[in-house]
Amino acid sequence: MRVAIASGKGGTGKTTVSVNLADLLARHRPVVLADLDVEEPNSGLFVQAETVHEEAVHRMVPSWVADQCTFCGVCQEVCQFNALIETGSEVMVFRELCHSCYACSELCPVEALPMTPMKIGDLSHRRSGSLDLVQGCLDIGQEQAVPLIAHTLDYLGARFSKDTLILCDAPPGTACSMIEAVKDADFVLLVTEPTPFGLHDLKLAVETVRGLGRPCAVVINRHGLGNADVEAYCRQEGIPVAARLPHSREAAQCYARGQLIHPHVPEVAAQLEAVAGFIQRIEQEGAA
Amino acid sequence: MKEIVVISGKGGTGKTSISASFSLLGGEDVITADCDVDAADLHLLLAPDFDHAEDFYSGLLARIDPSRCDECGICAQVCRFDAVHVVDGHHHIRELDCEGCGYCARVCPQRAVQLQERKVGQWYRSRLRTGGTMVHARLDIGAENSGKLVAKVKQEAREAAREQGREWILVDGAPGIGCPVMSSLSGADAVVFVTEPTVSGFHDLRRVYDLVRRFDMATACIVNKADLNPEMTRSVHAFLQEAGIRHLADLPYDEAFTEAMVEGCTVVEKEGTPLARALEESWTRLRTLLGTERTGDHP
Amino acid sequence: MKIAFTSQGTTPDAPMDPRFGRTAFLLVYDEESGQYEHCDNRQVEGVAHGAAVQTARRLFEMGAQVLVTGNGPGGNAASVLQRSGVQTFIGAGGMTVERAYAAWKSGKLQRFE
């Protein structure tokens, strides 16, 4: 089962919940934590593990073959992304603007634009006991996160069986990269905080997840801070609140040091156990 | 005209609360732009009036006309994004997956695929309680291309600054290191990093700084929640010095940010508090920094 | 000779647009015919990436041998222009198109390479 851990807003504790939950679950059973927040992958900072596999991730972009080209202009005409231009004496390709649609390459009448790989980031797979950590990391300067997220998901699908519990730390927001990480998940946990920012962004996230037809539940982080509007909203919308992680300076300090919180702050550990129980119930319902 | 962008890499560091404070301190002289269009929250603190709203279109979307389609399936063969699905024997495009590359339209023998402009959100020009103007936007749920909407918000903010003869543009930037943040940075004179002394905050600061280095602009930094981890705060300071980033202030871990948020205002409106004073000082230093240092190639 | 200007309007008295990629108009002066021709480039406003490439393509289509603009084109625009054979001159940002033409003609503008 694949559970996406997402949030409309960044900094609500999505990574905290993901890594602590994965660590807690891994004490009793195998679990995979996949960091799909490829622009800012931080899960790995909290987990010490041995490398199982590493690979560079590429996407395909055209490269120009001078000898073949007849300067017919088809390539720059079909490209919707301004990634190609004829300057009169050559065809220049701006690889970072290319969306890898293959139109220029395949429609070129003389095969002067073969597709070649361009590195966009790295995928790493590490293991610590029964916890597997799979992480995508986008190269600086690369603008498109979606192909790397898609590749990381393909890797997960090929490497692990459908019965494996996979927790995916999704990118924040509700734009294309978040959608890519969430759209095929079996269940979505939305992490929020009880503040006006938290509520505003939670509403957007709920709308998104419902639009994708995914079931979801909410985890309230820093409970006790702010106000009760998030609780009221969840009640009104009939969204289950899986747990309320208490607001605690101690927890914030653990996080700051790059430590797992549950071994140090029992109140937080108890609520994480509640999330773990919640996930296991969903898993059983799914199997039944 | 000088453009200042506030960014953080990581979410939750206080970027938006600090941007809102600067907007308030700048008052009428500042055009405020919320470029965090994916999770636009600045309006919750600044209460803009949404006076002027316009739909925003960007990129293309393929659509199959069922009356022309003979279900040959060539579109599905060429689509690299798996956007063509067959439902009940009919080909159709799943909007969410369509990249708008137009390849299918180009090769369809029946000319059954039409490309249309894709609505991706709305943008607004508003008046604030300071008398200043704010340009902001909302990205449609699940829409792509948030970088383009960011570019639009910035363009409208510059337009407003020119029209009104304003000196400053303050941009609440997008998170991450991808397309939206690049668009928020493009053409700016200065960037203010808002970071926190956490393992992830520091990690993301260094990552986003690697990106900013490629642009020619002045750099400054505010360390929020500095007392949460004094040791790491010292490491952040050392990094700032080494990178030549101007250190504007250390702010304490303070629930006043959340309290102000609940009240729908900014922390600087609680005058006389240490937090308000520290932010006022940062704003002054930032303006001085831009007045004296060589910056980007704005006319 | 055809000379292209990045401009904010469609007539020779229009102020120059100092930007290349995101210029509002391209105004081309044909020295032989004495005629101005323009191209509306404002649709690049919604383009986050590749604006300069799109503008360069319009420039090439208009057949100018010389480009006069304000700021130095950056990144992609610079490499396209360098390799295209179009001679680029900068520093005309604060002028009108007419004044920019005169400045270029008398050799007062800096060559961008």
Residue found under tokens 């039409």: B114
What distance in Å separates the CA atoms of residue A42 and residue B203, rounded to the nearest whole number?
8
- My answer on whether B183 and B136 are in the same domain is yes
Residue range A179-206, pLDDT digits in tens: 999 999 999 999 999 999 999 999 999 9
Q: How far is C85 from chain A (nearest CA, A)?
A: 8
pLDDT value at position C46? Answer: 63
Q: Assess contact for B208 and B233: CB atoms under 8 A.
A: no
Chains that touch C (3 or more CB pairs under 8 A): A, B
What distance in Å separates the CA atoms of residue A17 and residue A36, rounded to the nearest whole number?
14
* B155–C contact, CB cutoff 8 A: yes
- Coil, helix or strand for A148? helix
**Would you say residue B298 lies in a domain?**
no
**Would you say residue B299 lies in a domain?**
no
Q: Which of B101, B119, B137 is the last residue of a domain?
A: B119
pLDDT value at position A88? Answer: 80
Annotated domain spans of chain A: 2-58+121-287, 64-113
Q: Assess contact for B83 and B62: CB atoms under 8 A.
A: yes
Fill in the amino acid letter for A217: A
Residue range B67-81, pLDDT digits in tens: 999 999 999 999 999
Q: Assign domain A2-58+121-287 to its CATH superfamily.
A: P-loop containing nucleotide triphosphate hydrolases (3.40.50.300)
Paired residues of B85 in beta bridges: B92
- Structure-derived torsion over alpha carbons of residues B3, B248, B223, B257, reported in degrees to the nearest 10: -70
Q: Do A253 and B146 touch (CB under 8 A)?
A: no
The alpha-helical segments, DSSP class H, found in chain C are: 51-61, 75-84, 97-105
- My answer on whether B12 and B114 are in the same domain is no
Number of A–B residue contacts, CB under 8 Å: 172
* A118–B contact, CB cutoff 8 A: no
* pLDDT string in tens for chain A (288-residue length): 999 999 988 889 999 999 999 999 999 999 999 999 998 888 888 888 999 999 999 999 999 999 999 999 999 999 999 999 998 889 999 998 899 999 999 999 999 999 999 999 999 999 999 999 999 999 988 878 999 999 999 999 999 999 999 999 999 888 888 999 999 999 999 999 999 999 999 999 999 999 999 999 999 999 999 999 999 999 999 999 999 999 999 999 999 998 999 999 999 999 999 999 999 999 998 876
Q: Do C56 and A85 touch (CB under 8 A)?
A: yes
Task: Report whether pLDDT(B296) > 60.
Answer: no
CATH code of the domain in which B104 resides: 3.30.70.20
Q: Do A258 and B199 touch (CB under 8 A)?
A: yes
Q: What is the ipTM of this complex?
A: 0.86
**Residue B177's domain spans which residues?**
2-47+128-292
Question: Hey, which CATH number is domain A64-113, 2.40.50.100, 3.30.70.20, 3.90.1150.10, 3.40.50.10800?
Answer: 3.30.70.20
Fill in the amino acid letter for A216: C
**Would you say residue B159 lies in a domain?**
yes
- My answer on whether B84 and B113 are in the same domain is yes
Q: What is the percent of chain B with per-residue pLDDT over 90, rounded to a whole number?
A: 75
Domains held by chain B: number: 2
pLDDT value at position B297? Answer: 40
pLDDT value at position A61? Answer: 97
Residue range A137-162, pLDDT digits in tens: 999 888 789 999 999 999 999 999 99
Domains held by chain C: number: 1
pLDDT value at position B146? Answer: 62
Q: Which residue of A has its CA nearest to B176?
A: A39
Q: Do B145 and C47 touch (CB under 8 A)?
A: no
**Would you say residue C69 lies in a domain?**
no
Task: Report whether pLDDT(B294) > 50.
Answer: no
Residue range C11-60, pLDDT digits in tens: 999 999 988 988 999 999 999 999 999 999 988 766 667 788 889 989 99
Q: Do A196 and B10 touch (CB under 8 A)?
A: no
**Packed helices B15-26 and B256-263: angle between N→C axes, nearest 10 degrees:** 70
To probe the interface with A, which of B58, B82, B179 has the most A CB atoms within 10 Å? B179
What distance in Å separates the CA atoms of residue A162 and residue A156, rounded to the nearest whole number?
10
**Would you say residue B14 lies in a domain?**
yes
CATH code of the domain in which C106 resides: 3.30.420.130
Fill in the amino acid letter for A77: E
Nearest CB neighbour to C48, from listed B148, B297, B299: B148
pLDDT value at position B295? Answer: 42
CA distances from A181 to A3, B14, B67, B244 (A): 10, 26, 35, 37
**Would you say residue C42 lies in a domain?**
yes
Residue range B72-127, pLDDT digits in tens: 999 999 999 999 999 999 999 998 889 999 999 999 999 999 999 989 899 999 99
Nearest CB neighbour to B179, from listed A45, A143, A227: A143
Angle at B125 between CA B123 and CA B131, to 5 degrees: 155
Q: Assess contact for A17 and A245: CB atoms under 8 A.
A: yes
CATH code of the domain in which B169 resides: 3.40.50.300
- My answer on whether B152 and B103 are in the same domain is no
pLDDT value at position B214? Answer: 81
What mean pLDDT do residues B243-248 have? 96
**Would you say residue B132 lies in a domain?**
yes
Chains that touch A (3 or more CB pairs under 8 A): B, C
Query: Which residues in chain C have Cβ-Cβ distances shorter than 8 Å to B101?
Result: none
What distance in Å separates the CA atoms of residue B236 and residue B58, rounded to the nearest whole number?
39
What mean pLDDT do residues B256-285 have? 93
